[in-house]
Structure 1
C-alpha cells in the first residue's frame, strides 16, 4: 500500500514471521548457534524461552530453514492436546502412514522411523511451540518419548519453545524429572535502544529502502513505546509508515510516531469505586478518625478501678459474715437515732423495773445504758422500712444522744470478746 511511496519491494514490518527479515543481532546469533549445536549433537531436550514478542517464532523458523535437508522436523504449534491427538499430529507431521488408536499403534512405527533416520545419519527434531500450554499428563508422555535411544545415542531431539513462565512450570516438583533432562537452555531478552535502531534499519534494507526513513528522534520514540520488543516495533513502524505516506512525507519524524502511539495505546480505564454503604445513618460532619489509643486505659485508671473493686468486695464480705443479732441491734440503734421528732431524752431513757424514767442520766451514761440494754428486735420490727436520719431542730440545750462512735466501738469489742472465748 505504501511500498511505492518509499521505493520498497515489500512491506518491512509485517506481523507474520518471515525468516528473510530475521535480524541477527548479538543475542539472536548466540541463540541460533546454541540451538543448532544442540540439534546436530543430539542433546535430547532443548529449551528456548522469552517474553511475548521477543522473536522466538521467527528464530525457530530460521532454524528449521537452515536444517531443511539435514533434519526431520515436526512443529507442534499448539500443544494443548490430548495424548492420542498429540500422537496423531506427530505421525502426520513426520508423514507416518499409521492410524493411532492406542499408544502401541504409535510407539512401534515411530521407533522404526527413528532407527531409519539414525541409519541415514539424520537427526529428528520435535519442536513444541507455546510450551507453557502443555498439560501435565502430556508433559510426562513427552518425557517418556525421550527414552527412545540407540546404542547410547539419542534418537529424538525435543525442542521446547515457550514464554518465561514455562521455566517456572518446570521448577514444580512433579516436573523435576523432565527438567533434569534438559541439556541446553537459552532466554531471549528484549532489544536495547541501539539494537532497536539497527533492527529497524535492517528490515528496511531487506525491503529495498535506499535511505533512513526513520529519523533519530523517531527511533527513540519507537523504543520508548516498544521497550525493545520486536513485535511492538513492527506494529508502530508499520502504522507510522502508512500515516506519513498519506501526507506525502518520505522521512518519519518523532511527531509522527507520537501521533501513532495515541492511536494504538490502550488507556487504563479507572472504574469509579463503589461507595461503601454506612451501617448507621450518616452524620452531618465527617466522622473522627479512631484514635490509636482507643480501648486502652492508663495505669492510674486501672489502679483506682482495682481499689474500688477491692473495697466493694470487703464491704460485701463484712455484711455477709456479720452475725444476725449484731445486724438487728445496729438496725435498732439507727431507728432510735432517726426518731428525732420525739423528745431528745426519750431516745436515751430505758424503762426501769419500777417504771420510772432515767432522765437524770448524763449523756455518756445514758448512751452506755442504752447500748447495754439492746435486745434482738421482733420480726415485725425487722420488716419495718428504715427511715434515714435527719438533723433535729436546733435547741438551746444539747440533746442527750448516744455517740455513734461509742456504739461502734462497743460492737467491735463485743465481737473481739466472742472470738477470744
Structure 2
C-alpha cells in the first residue's frame, strides 16, 4: 500500500520471521553468537526464554541459517506433540524410515543413525519452539534424548525456546533432572526506549529506505511505551503509523500517527496470552484504512492471495498419489456448502465420526490449530483448503491448550504410514504449506478430542 510512497522495496514491519530483518542490537547478536558457541561445543541442553513477541522464533530461524553446513537441524514448532510423536518428528526430519516402530525401537534406531552421522563428522541439533507449552511427559522424553552419547560426545544438541513460564515449569521438584541438564540459559529482554528508534530505522533500511528518520522522537517514545519493548508489538504499531502517515500525505510519523496506531491496537486492554502462540494482527486505523501488519505462525491460518482463490479447483488440487488406509471408512459424501460457516459446521460434525473409526496409528497432516474465538478466520482458511483439496478429506476437531483455552484443529487426509503422509505433505499447495504443517497420529488427536467430551 505505501511502499512507493516511502521508497521501500518490501514491507519493513511484517511480524512473520524474515531473517534478513534480524536486529543485532539490544544483545540479540551476542545471544546468537553464544547459542552458536554452545551448540558447536557440545554443551548439551540449552534454554532461551522471552516474553510473547520478544523475538524468540526470529532468533531460532536465524540460528538455523547460520549454523555450519555439517550440522543437521530439526525444528519442532508444535508444543502439543506427545513423547512418541516427538521421536517420529525427529526421525522424519532426519529422513529415517522407521514406519510404525515402537518407542524403544525408535530410540535404538535413532541412536544408531546419530552415531553414523557422528562418524561422518556431522552433528544434529533439535530446536524446540514454544517449549513452555509442552506436556511434562514430552519434556521428560527430551531429557532422555539428551542422554544419547557416544563415548564422551553428545549425539544430539537440544535448544528449548519458550516463554518465562518454562522457567516456572522447570522449577518444580519433579523436573529437577531436566533442569540440571541445562548448561546454558539465555533471556531475550524487551527493547529499551533507546533501542526502539534504532530498531525502527534498521527495519526501514533493510526494506530499502534511504531517506532521513521517519519516526520522530515523540513517536518513538509513544511506540516504546505502548509496545513495552516487544518487537512484535513494535512492528504492528510501526506498520499502522506508516499507513496513517501515508493516508495523510506525509512522509514522517509524529505523535498524531503514533496515537492513532495505539488507539487502533489496544494492547493494554488485551488479556495476556499464556500460551504465546502468535496471533495474526489486523485492524482499522482511526483514519479508516485497513492495516497491513499481518502475519503469524504455523498455528495461525493465513489468508491466501486473491490470485490463488480464482484458479479452477481441478487445476490446483494435488494429484491423488496417496491412497487412504485400507481400514478407512467409506469416504464422506462430498459436499459444497454455500457458506464458509456451513462448511465448518458440516466438517466439524462429520469429522468426529470419521476420526473415531480410524486405527490409532493412522497418520494425518495437521494444517492449523486456532483459538475458538477466531472461528471466522478458521472458517475462511477451511474454505481456501477446500478449494485446493477434497472437502471430505479435511477434518475439524475441538481441542484445548494445557491452560484449558479452547481451540480447533484442522487436519488433512488419512494415511496408513508415515511415508505416505510425508509424501502428501510435500504435495500440498504452497499457501497450505506456509503454516508449516506437521504429521500427527489419529490416536494423539483422539485423546485431545475425548478431553472435550
TM-score norm. by structure 1 comes to: 0.62
Q: CA deviation at 1:2?
A: 0.9
Instruction: State the match for 1:287 in structure 2.
Output: none
| 1:132/1:162 contact within 8 Å kept | yes
Instruction: State the match for 2:58 in structure 1.
Output: 58
User: Alpha carbons of 1:218 and 1:26: their partners in 2 closer, same or farther (altered >3 Å)?
Assistant: closer
Larger radius of gyration: 1
Q: After the TM superposition, which of the residue ranges 213-222 and 152-161 deviates more from structure 2?
A: 213-222
| 1:45/1:182 contact within 8 Å kept | yes
Instruction: Kindly report structure 1 stretches of 4+ aligned residues shifted beyond 4 Å.
Output: 266-269
Q: CA deviation at 1:108?
A: 2.2
| 2:73/2:126 contact within 8 Å kept | yes
Instruction: State the match for 1:362 in structure 2.
Output: none
TM-score norm. by structure 2 comes to: 0.58
| 1:84/1:100 contact within 8 Å kept | no
Instruction: State the match for 1:245 in structure 2.
Output: 246
Instruction: State the match for 2:48 in structure 1.
Output: 48
Distance 1:244 1:88 in 2: 50
Query: Does 1:263 pair with 2:264?
Result: yes
Q: CA deviation at 1:266?
A: 5.3
Residues 188-207 of structure 1: pairs in structure 2 closer than 5 A: 188-207=188-207
Distance 1:25 1:203 in 2: 12
Instruction: State the match for 2:70 in structure 1.
Output: 70
Distance 2:231 2:103 in 1: 41
| Residue-by-residue CA offset, 1:319-343 (whole Å, 9 max, x unaligned) | xxxxxxxxxxxxxxxxxxxxxxxxx
| Residue-by-residue CA offset, 1:185-217 (whole Å, 9 max, x unaligned) | 101110111111110010000101112121222
Query: Does 1:144 pair with 2:144?
Result: yes
Query: Does 1:234 pair with 2:217?
Result: no
User: Alpha carbons of 1:225 and 1:267: their partners in 2 closer, same or farther (altered >3 Å)?
Assistant: closer
Instruction: State the match for 1:292 in structure 2.
Output: none
Look up the SS of the partner of 1:99 in the other structure.
Answer: coil
RMSD: 1.4
| 1:73/1:126 contact within 8 Å kept | yes
Distance 2:217 2:117 in 1: 51
Distance 1:150 1:240 in 2: 55
Gaps of 5+ in 1: 270-421
Q: CA deviation at 1:156?
A: 0.6
Look up the SS of the partner of 1:214 in the other structure.
Answer: coil
Higher helix share: 1
Distance 1:95 1:210 in 2: 45
Q: CA deviation at 1:235?
A: 0.3
Instruction: State the match for 2:412 in structure 1.
Output: none
Distance 1:210 1:180 in 2: 49
Query: Does 1:3 pair with 2:34?
Result: no
Look up the SS of the partner of 1:208 in the other structure.
Answer: coil
